[in-house]
Structure 1
């Protein structure tokens, strides 16, 4: 069925306005005897739930006569809107594009005959130069601001008439007059019908209202059930297929915000913690594919500078539809123009130059194509041999290498008539000239040095190394590596350096060798058939082990897992610094990983290698004390890691000391064995005099706490005399909270430094005060007995002072609503002990650090209802040097982030914001569910694609 129009808009910005436009054009000038005159498509209302999203939208675009673009800056930046406009420009006339400006600006420059792009913000730049004359566009900015979307409003009615007139093939005034006439006819009929309908109304309202209520309840139950089913499947897939786990978790949250969907989001965030982008999803049906050797080809390549990723696959996504080699700009995080190329059956060579500008691709029958990546242009084709005359098994390049400067290509291959012999050739990439040729002895592996001045050829069967110099065009034998068995092996060479990784093909064993000295550097059991060595031959390695992609140290020991696939990994590539890693699997999935922690969980720099025991999370100051004094740091905002505050010439004792810093870090206050002093850490000078409290009586096992208040003048601490409020200018005690002999192990301050909580270590009574602004505290809560009040070592108050959480030495967590005084959660944690606990900034999520002899991590709770959200495991902690030192510290970060610092010095920033989890997952996988999955879980339910903007 033909459509009159297609509305393209930003779902995040203009859903309501688009709905009003569609409704207005359907109703304008509609005869009362007809249901609808125009048919205008808008995807949310016009698509069946059983349709695949993009293919359905594509079909509607093909059937539409006019393209109505609801313009806004958000729509101009939307990937989906740009795809719709691009299709229209490629297949339809721009004269049939109608523009309605919902926000932003549009300006036409009559002199230039184009839009004034210096002032236009609501249109995508792809419309530049498209229109021969000023197109029809209407301004709905004021209408959108007033939200008056009725045809009775003159401004909205005028805009709708202007847009609908071309669709009707009539003038705007003529259309408006007919609409008024139809309304008068309808009004007379309405008045006659009102009397009859009024008699039926009272009877039908009661029945209809009841039925509507039951229908709503049934739909709500169906959405909850669908959400729970999607969440359960997401949890099942988390280890095997993180991409699908994220996709199902997002749809579970979109269907209904259940506790199960929140747990699924948390698990998906952890499973995708190192993922920068999932580029292709696996088909899950690779067994049906018959390629060369019965395996589907999925190949990836990453430029040495980490700027560009290229990939192709015989299965999955656009590649399956003949989309060619896909190119992704890693730095900008967006797809580039695909290369209209077709690779060899079963895959083959795919290499990028160091700067990502030149790509080498093996096509069918031993032909090599050279592509300009930026322009998407084929530069030349190099023919190694007439591969079409060879047997199927010999039609591939056996080894290949592209120099980093993209000047030279080397490859080994077979030629017709000499099937028993391999040939090795080097070509000049810029001219296609063959500059060196020889018979290839043995099973060679090829690699160019970092400066492109040498080509290495390593014989996998005999361990013999030789090099070719492009300047002299001469080969040189570098001898044989001793002790390497003469057996078939896989070999991985780095882009430079002297190391090589040997993997036995018949034994589950891998060995790392120095090619210059012939020394075996490391060995490990297990297959490392797909591996990438660092460019300089040192540092961590990246390797595929079955379905997982892992980072290994120089001893071939696993450091961490970057990600996993549902099928075995078939290709791995990495940038020179190892920061960016790409991998493809046997069912067509392709993912990009961030090996330095720039994914969903971000690793922050810690150049000083501060460890957990040196970070005082209460005062927010890290310190390292020595005989000459104490160095001080705090955690900076964003991705900066630890920020050095300075140094004070005073050593601190490990016990009975505490440090707090002002908001800007310009002053710190120290209490050490009962002596208070203030310092300027930038100059190391003491501010004012120090003060010793004679009645200081440290209690065995207590942890001293010290906090600055919002005025950056007063501090508060727990003392034998009670909880003291002290003026740092004079060291006078301004206020004594809870005076007496009670001891208070628990003392916690909110993130805004305005709410203070204390718990009696014996009776468990909870006391909460609020900073009044006149240099005093006012008590807001006095309640008896937390369930975990006995021997409480750790506690936290939410940022705004809404909730208090504590964890005791027996491993029980309690959550108190400060506003009501009710305990809303009591739960057993993973590992007892003095572990930290923090809230997200919005007080919706609670995190608790745990460590055991074998593992460490975070436990998460919904702080509103006490629902357990699962765990985020961390790497196995390094055993602390001091038995009393905690292995993991936890502290609130900026926004809703939480910081973890382990005993090995790894500083991580993780988000505790559920909305942020959803947004981050959408950034790495934003494609809709497949039709089969949609039909299975969401039949008869209207659930929008969660990541469409």
Structure 2
């Protein structure tokens, strides 16, 4: 059946309005004795459960006479909506586009004959210059604000009539009159039917109500079961196929949020922490054939500036996109126009210029194409030799390189009639002119330096490294290679200024990193390294495949950090010059883009002082490093500044009998040192006022704590004489808490610096006070933890509504301060560290763990006490027994900060709704038909990322 109209809209913004619009167009002027006279498509109600969502939408677009765009800024930015509009513009007349503005603005400029794009926010720029005259559009902004979606409302009725009139082939007034006539007929019939129906109503209500209740309960059970099954499968896939793990976790949470779905989201976030975007899913199987170069190819390339990714694959991808090079704009986060071309089975050369505007691609039979990426235009074809006449094994380039400025292309190849000789040629890529041509002499590997000044040619037969200078067009031999066993090894040349080369591992030898200019081996890998890429920034980092994983190594080829995993072995990797962006493709056609800095899942924050775990103060607001001449101070922020230096005070500080706290703006710090209180201006290093000595006794096995209150005047601290509230202006004690209670009280302060908690370290008694702002604390809770070993840490949520403590046996206790109720008493799954923090909204509790092999965070729901899973942050750097290997402190909003013993400061979000949004950014594909039928058969479930 043909459709009269197709509604395109943002599911995130306008689902309710689109539903009302569809219903109104179906009902307007409909005779009571007939079904709807027009058919308007809206995908969440009109589609059956289908794994191939785009193919279904495409079919509906092809059957529709009119395109109804429900305009909003969110719809204008939606990738799906843009695809729908682009299809219409490519295949239908723009005169059949109708616009309903739900939010944002639309302005037509009569003088320009186009929309005023400086004022229009609700339309995508792809509509610029499309219309010859002002198209039909109606304003639904006020209707959407009032949410009065009824044909009895004049504003909504008028808009529906204006949109429906072209679909009916009638003018608006005629359609409106017909609707009024049909409603009068229906009203008369309705009055007569009411009397009869009333008699039946009482009977049917009782039966129907019971049936409806049973149906609802059965549906709820089905949704929970489906969500749990999806979550379980997501957890199974996390280590081997993070892309599908994210898919299943998102669907589990969409079907029904459960504890299992929350854990699946946590695990999927951890598994995808280095992923910026999954570009293409794999087939889940290897190819049934081999190309001329061996196995089926999946090839990736990244521009030097990190702006552009190009990839192709013999496998995977959408059915209609085979044999095309796909291009992705990394900075804008969007797909660009595909390049319709060919490549040899088994793959071939694929190179991007430094700015991502030019692409070089090997095609069949020793030809190369040069493309303008932005215009998707073929610029020229360069023929190396008549490869058609060569034996199958020789019909391809053996080595290749394109300079970063896209001016030069170099390749080695064979020619017909002389297949034993390998030739090396350099071409001018702008003109196709051959500027240098010679016998290669051996099996070469080629690479241009990042600044395009030199072409390097490494002879893997041992003859050495040579360079070609484009300015002089002369070759220079750098001499023979050191004694390096090269046979059967992959070779990766860096584009940097140094002569860094990675020789891949084999069954008999480990991978080695060399500086060929100095003839020096830099590092040897501890494990097998396959396909690799070297950034050009001289950082010494290495990106390499380890079977199915993509890992980032340091300059010693040790301490690898996994960026991501695939279901099949990695076949190709590429990296930007600064090492930030990494792309990889697997043996079954999957392609993913990774960000070495975390891509928004985690942010690496500046730490110019290279502070380490153990150097953060108790409240996490300040970090300090004592020295013999004084103490350096830093403010801690989860914003871009990270650890920001405050200054230095000329007072050394000792670890166990000293504490420091700062005001909210960092302009003053107060230090307590063996009972002596003093305040300092860290910017000048000068004291503020006089110091004050108190009677001081303090156990050596506990850490002294000091906190500023919200007024930035009073501080609170404790030792065996009680907990003291002190005015820093006069050093007078305004209040003493628990003066008779005996030994040292373990303290914690809320993020708003108004709620104070103390846990008696020996027996676990808990007391909580709220600061009134009038120089006094008022007690708000007294309770206790189960008898246990010594308590080590206590944390209070930002507004003081929850409290948590952890003891030396790894048992966490969680309390609701308002009721005094214990929410959780659980043993941590990864003991070893006592650090605990709350998210700012107090919905999540995080515990830092560290073992000999790994460190990370595990989570609990702070409302229910349910365990939410864990994130692994990596292998901890060596640290002494006295120094913690990981510290965790709360940040602003939902962020949590971790500082490890290597000095890495990371910020991550604990907001589950934020996790959903981040996972949708990297994979928004619907489930396959087989998976949908297996887990969601009989259930109508929207694709979770359709927006």
Q: TM-score, normalised by structure 1?
A: 0.97
Q: Which moved more, 1:739-748 or 1:210-219?
A: 739-748
Q: Is the 8 A contact 1:703 1:745 kept in 2?
A: no
Residue aligning to 1:138 = 138
Aligned partner of residue 312 in structure 2, secondary structure: strand
Q: Is the 8 A contact 1:715 1:728 kept in 2?
A: yes
Relative to structure 1, the CA distance from residue 846 to residue 697 in structure 2 (aligned partners, 3 Å threshold; closer, same or farther) is same
Residue aligning to 1:801 = 800
Q: Which moved more, 1:265-274 or 1:545-554?
A: 545-554
Q: Is the 8 A contact 1:314 1:320 kept in 2?
A: no
Relative to structure 1, the CA distance from residue 661 to residue 72 in structure 2 (aligned partners, 3 Å threshold; closer, same or farther) is same
Aligned partner of residue 857 in structure 1, secondary structure: strand
The offset of 1:852, in angstroms, is 2.3
Q: Is the 8 A contact 1:835 1:889 kept in 2?
A: no
Q: Is the 8 A contact 1:645 1:682 kept in 2?
A: yes
CA distance in 2, matches of 1:729, 1:193: 84
1:579-618 to structure 2, matched below 5 A, reads: 579-618=580-619
User: For residues 184-221 of structure 1, what are the alpha-carbon distances to aligned partners after superposition, in whole Å with 9 as ceiling and x for unaligned?
Assistant: 11111111111111111011111111111111111111
Aligned partner of residue 143 in structure 2, secondary structure: helix
The offset of 1:780, in angstroms, is 1.4
Residue aligning to 2:820 = 821
The offset of 1:570, in angstroms, is 0.7
Relative to structure 1, the CA distance from residue 709 to residue 689 in structure 2 (aligned partners, 3 Å threshold; closer, same or farther) is same
Structure 1 unpaired stretches of 5+: none
1:554-573 to structure 2, matched below 5 A, reads: 554-573=555-574
CA distance in 1, matches of 2:505, 2:652: 56
Relative to structure 1, the CA distance from residue 526 to residue 690 in structure 2 (aligned partners, 3 Å threshold; closer, same or farther) is closer
Q: Is the 8 A contact 2:526 2:557 kept in 1?
A: no
CA distance in 2, matches of 1:608, 1:53: 51
Aligned partner of residue 479 in structure 1, secondary structure: coil
The offset of 1:564, in angstroms, is 0.9
1:541-560 to structure 2, matched below 5 A, reads: 541-560=542-561
Residue aligning to 2:694 = 693
User: For residues 554-582 of structure 1, what are the alpha-carbon distances to aligned partners after superposition, in whole Å with 9 as ceiling and x for unaligned?
Assistant: 23224211111111111111111211111
Relative to structure 1, the CA distance from residue 257 to residue 488 in structure 2 (aligned partners, 3 Å threshold; closer, same or farther) is closer
Q: Is the 8 A contact 2:314 2:322 kept in 1?
A: no
Report the aligned-residue RMSD: 1.8
Q: Is the 8 A contact 2:759 2:794 kept in 1?
A: no
Residue aligning to 1:391 = 391
Residue aligning to 1:622 = 623
Matched, 1:650 2:640: no
Residue aligning to 2:874 = 875
Q: Is the 8 A contact 1:788 1:813 kept in 2?
A: no
Q: Is the 8 A contact 2:816 2:822 kept in 1?
A: yes
The offset of 1:833, in angstroms, is 5.2
Aligned partner of residue 864 in structure 1, secondary structure: coil
Q: Which moved more, 1:826-835 or 1:797-806?
A: 826-835
The offset of 1:810, in angstroms, is 1.4
Residue aligning to 2:774 = 774
Residue aligning to 1:863 = 862
1:673-822 to structure 2, matched below 5 A, reads: 673-694=674-695, 696-783=696-783, 785-787=784-786, 790-822=789-821
CA distance in 2, matches of 1:305, 1:799: 41
Relative to structure 1, the CA distance from residue 521 to residue 103 in structure 2 (aligned partners, 3 Å threshold; closer, same or farther) is closer
Q: Is the 8 A contact 2:235 2:245 kept in 1?
A: yes
Q: Is the 8 A contact 1:568 1:586 kept in 2?
A: yes
Relative to structure 1, the CA distance from residue 527 to residue 602 in structure 2 (aligned partners, 3 Å threshold; closer, same or farther) is same
Residue aligning to 1:535 = 536
Relative to structure 1, the CA distance from residue 404 to residue 945 in structure 2 (aligned partners, 3 Å threshold; closer, same or farther) is same
The offset of 1:42, in angstroms, is 0.6
Q: Which moved more, 1:333-342 or 1:300-309?
A: 333-342
Matched, 1:518 2:519: yes
CA distance in 1, matches of 2:527, 2:688: 61
User: For residues 819-867 of structure 1, what are the alpha-carbon distances to aligned partners after superposition, in whole Å with 9 as ceiling and x for unaligned?
Assistant: 2211111111245455210011111111111222332221211111111
Aligned partner of residue 445 in structure 1, secondary structure: strand
Aligned partner of residue 509 in structure 1, secondary structure: coil
CA distance in 2, matches of 1:629, 1:753: 28
Residue aligning to 2:462 = 462
Q: Which moved more, 1:173-182 or 1:522-531?
A: 522-531
Residue aligning to 2:117 = 117
Q: Is the 8 A contact 1:28 1:161 kept in 2?
A: yes
User: For residues 115-171 of structure 1, what are the alpha-carbon distances to aligned partners after superposition, in whole Å with 9 as ceiling and x for unaligned?
Assistant: 122222111111111111111111111111111111111111111111111111111
User: For residues 488-514 of structure 1, what are the alpha-carbon distances to aligned partners after superposition, in whole Å with 9 as ceiling and x for unaligned?
Assistant: 432111113212222355635322223
Aligned partner of residue 873 in structure 1, secondary structure: strand
Relative to structure 1, the CA distance from residue 486 to residue 622 in structure 2 (aligned partners, 3 Å threshold; closer, same or farther) is closer
CA distance in 1, matches of 2:195, 2:785: 66
The offset of 1:25, in angstroms, is 0.7
User: For residues 62-111 of structure 1, what are the alpha-carbon distances to aligned partners after superposition, in whole Å with 9 as ceiling and x for unaligned?
Assistant: 11111111111111111111111111111111111111111111122222
Residue aligning to 2:365 = 365
The offset of 1:408, in angstroms, is 1.3
Q: Is the 8 A contact 1:807 1:814 kept in 2?
A: yes
Q: Is the 8 A contact 1:539 1:554 kept in 2?
A: yes
**Equivalent pairs, count:** 946
Residue aligning to 1:902 = 900
Residue aligning to 1:665 = 666
CA distance in 1, matches of 2:588, 2:490: 23
1:75-224 to structure 2, matched below 5 A, reads: 75-224=75-224
Aligned partner of residue 324 in structure 2, secondary structure: coil
Relative to structure 1, the CA distance from residue 486 to residue 691 in structure 2 (aligned partners, 3 Å threshold; closer, same or farther) is closer
The offset of 1:380, in angstroms, is 0.8
Q: Is the 8 A contact 2:657 2:700 kept in 1?
A: no
1:915 is aligned, of 909, 913, 929, to 913
CA distance in 2, matches of 1:599, 1:663: 27
CA distance in 2, matches of 1:763, 1:510: 55
Aligned partner of residue 571 in structure 2, secondary structure: strand
Aligned partner of residue 689 in structure 1, secondary structure: coil
1:265-284 to structure 2, matched below 5 A, reads: 265-284=265-284
Structure 2 unpaired stretches of 5+: none
CA distance in 1, matches of 2:105, 2:362: 48
Aligned partner of residue 688 in structure 1, secondary structure: coil
The offset of 1:463, in angstroms, is 4.5
1:6-45 to structure 2, matched below 5 A, reads: 6-45=6-45
Q: Is the 8 A contact 2:287 2:315 kept in 1?
A: no
User: For residues 601-626 of structure 1, what are the alpha-carbon distances to aligned partners after superposition, in whole Å with 9 as ceiling and x for unaligned?
Assistant: 22212121101121124252110111
Q: Is the 8 A contact 1:463 1:486 kept in 2?
A: no
Q: Is the 8 A contact 2:571 2:587 kept in 1?
A: yes
Relative to structure 1, the CA distance from residue 688 to residue 442 in structure 2 (aligned partners, 3 Å threshold; closer, same or farther) is same
Q: Is the 8 A contact 2:837 2:845 kept in 1?
A: yes
Q: Is the 8 A contact 2:763 2:790 kept in 1?
A: no
Relative to structure 1, the CA distance from residue 242 to residue 508 in structure 2 (aligned partners, 3 Å threshold; closer, same or farther) is farther
CA distance in 2, matches of 1:756, 1:528: 53
The offset of 1:729, in angstroms, is 1.0
Aligned partner of residue 209 in structure 1, secondary structure: helix
User: For residues 660-708 of structure 1, what are the alpha-carbon distances to aligned partners after superposition, in whole Å with 9 as ceiling and x for unaligned?
Assistant: 11111111111111011111111112111111112x2112322211111
Aligned partner of residue 219 in structure 1, secondary structure: helix
Q: Is the 8 A contact 1:445 1:457 kept in 2?
A: yes
CA distance in 2, matches of 1:139, 1:115: 15
Q: TM-score, normalised by structure 2?
A: 0.97
Relative to structure 1, the CA distance from residue 255 to residue 186 in structure 2 (aligned partners, 3 Å threshold; closer, same or farther) is same
Residue aligning to 2:887 = 889
Residue aligning to 1:309 = 309
Q: Is the 8 A contact 1:319 1:325 kept in 2?
A: no
Q: Is the 8 A contact 1:816 1:822 kept in 2?
A: yes
Relative to structure 1, the CA distance from residue 525 to residue 780 in structure 2 (aligned partners, 3 Å threshold; closer, same or farther) is closer
The offset of 1:319, in angstroms, is 7.9
